[in-house]
Structure 1
Amino acid sequence: MSRTLQVLVVDDDFRVADLHAAAVEAAPGFTVVGTARTVAEARVFLAEHPVDLLLADIYLPDGDGITLARASDVDAFILSAADDVPTVRRALRAGALAYLVKPFPQRVLIDRLDRYARYRHVLSGSQGLSQEKVDQALAILNGAQAPTPVSRSATEQLLLDALGDGELSASEAAELAGVSRATAQRRLAAMASSGLVQVRLRYGQSGRPEHLYSRPGR
């Protein structure tokens, strides 16, 4: 995404909060804009600063992270040691986009953040969404394959949306669109032949050219 996504970390243990913040800063396209140790601190911060994503523990000194997530008009991940079914279901009912059971490796949170960034990319813009795009966004968020079959026009639209105003390789476009690299290469080549996208070659140190695709008039 072109805009850096802003994250608030809420955990009463400063050491754990620092670990979560480090994972956020290691994820491309994200930055930590604040940390809070209580529900009250989090509410004050949310009222005064724009936040895209809330990472909240459940058990806080003055309240419940799930209740905080439900009351906040912000996307949220719940990060908690609670692994009982009622708690997990309550978090999902409250709208949590992910539930990570502590302790977990840093790479797990980084992977979820990457999925979230791509989910946000698919759901960006002001135009209406097709069912294919809604399904695509949810599949990316949950680490699943996109529902099949997807029509050619829908796949091409996903690739065009991934390109946006930039210039991407087939691999990069495939990752953003949530399709296979082979599918992206095949469709982008066909779209280049028809003039729907433009392509140029970039030569690296190995001398093997890389195809870069963009929308015409970029």
Structure 2
Amino acid sequence: MTGTLRVLILDDDFRVGQLHQGIVDDHPGYTALTPVRSIAEARDSIRSSSPDLLLADVFLPDGDGIGLVRDAGVDAILISAADDAATVRRALRSGAVGYLVKPFERRALTGLLDRFARYRNLVSGDRPLRQEDVDRALAILHGAGEPVSLSRSATEQLVFAALGDGEASAAEVGERVGISRATAQRHLAALAARDVVEVRLRYGATGRPEHRYAARA
């Protein structure tokens, strides 16, 4: 995964849309597109902007957010005051990667954004996936197997996830996450100090070594 993840927010209440837009824009590795307030506007924005993630309400003036998610072909998190089991099951059958019941704490959405970024990093590109890659991606998406990351900041989680199964420089990690090289370097150094990340040296044509980072097994 390279660059930032672009998020389209769909909610008929413009104040809620602006609130969610602020949470997304404040989150490392993400940028929010202009929020929309109807199914029709959402379809137009999906066609023109190709977002990576859709945050959609369920009940909208001109249709059903779950139906939109089913048809749009975009990863989506559904957000709704509907807490009945039938609606939740229907949302998950539509292909939604998450469901948040309104009202919710800010950290509930930021936690989902963290996990989604790590999930997308693991399943990005065209490389073949091993079964353990699929299992790990699903576990991350659903919040399982998190003991190591609980002690890290949100940015550190994204930096660590950006390494994937290979190695990368601080500049490459910064580009993948959407942060500066210096910020990526700082977080990578902290991970290396805790022995979570391994530091390797690669010598180029100039003779100066380049620091490369890889997640420890």
Task: Give the TM-score normalised by structure 2.
Answer: 0.73
Which residue does 1:102 correspond to in 2?
Answer: 102
Residue aligning to 1:166: 169
Q: Which deviates the most, 120-129 or 89-98?
A: 120-129
Aligned positions of 1:1-218 closer than 5 A: 2-145=2-145, 161-162=164-165, 164-167=167-170, 169=188, 172=191, 184=196, 188=198, 198-199=200-201, 213-214=212-213
Alpha-carbon distance in structure 2 between the residues aligned to 1:54 and 1:160 = 25
Q: In structure 2, give the amino acid aligned to 1:113.
A: L
Which aligned runs of 4 or more in structure 1 are off by greater than 2 angstroms? 158-173, 212-215
SS at 2:33's partner residue?
strand
Q: Secondary structure at 2:126's aligned position in 1?
A: coil
Q: Following the alignment from structure 2 to structure 1, what is the Cα–Cα distance between the partners of residues 84 and 123?
A: 32
Q: Comparing both chains, which one has the higher relative contact order based on Cα–Cα distances under 8 Å and sequence gaps of 6 or more?
A: 2
Please, which runs of 5 or more residues in structure 2 have no aligned partner? 147-160, 171-184, 203-210
Counterpart CA distance in 1 for 2:22 and 2:165 is: 28
Query: Residues 199 and 80 from structure 1, CA distance in 2 versus in 1: closer, same or farther, beyond 3 angstroms?
Result: same
- Please tell me whether the aligned partners of residues 39 and 65 of structure 2 are also in contact (alpha carbons under 8 angstroms): yes
Aligned to 1:3, the other structure's residue is in SS state coil
CA distance in structure 2 between the aligned counterparts of 1:15 and 1:2, rounded to whole angstroms: 31
Q: Deviations over 1:92-114 (max 9, x none)?
A: 00000000000011121111101
Tell me, in whole angstroms, the C-alpha distance in 2 between the residues paired with 1:170 and 1:134: 28
Match of 1:149 in 2: none
Separation in 1, partners of 2:108, 2:52: 19
- In structure 1, give the amino acid aligned to 2:70: R
Q: Secondary structure at the match of 2:100?
A: strand
Deviation of the 1:166 alpha carbon: 2.3
User: Which of structures 1 and 2 has the bigger CA Rg?
Assistant: 1
Q: What SS does structure 2 have at the residue aligned with 1:36?
A: coil
Distance 1:49 1:214, change over 3 A: same
Please report how far the alpha carbon of residue 2 of structure 1 lies from its aligned counterpart in structure 2 after TM superposition: 3.4
Amino acid at match of 1:80: S
Unpaired runs of 5+ residues, structure 1, are 147-157, 174-180, 189-196, 201-211
Q: CA, structure 1 residues 17+214, in 2 after alignment: closer, same or farther (shift >3 Å)?
A: same
Deviation at 1:126, TM superposition (A): 1.8
* Conserved 8 A contact 2:11-2:17: yes
- The Cα RMSD (Å) is 2.5
TM-score by length of 1: 0.72
Q: For residue 165 of structure 1, report the CA deviation from its aligned partner.
A: 2.7
Aligned length: 175
Counterparts of 1:27 and 1:85, CA distance in 2: 30
Aligned-pair CA distance for 1:90: 0.2
1:31 match: secondary structure: strand
Q: Aligned partners of 1:100 and 1:138: how far apart in 2?
A: 18
Name the SS of the counterpart of 1:35 in structure 2: coil
1:125 positional shift: 2.4
Residues 129 and 83 (structure 1), Cα distance of their counterparts in 2 relative to 1, 3 Å cut: same
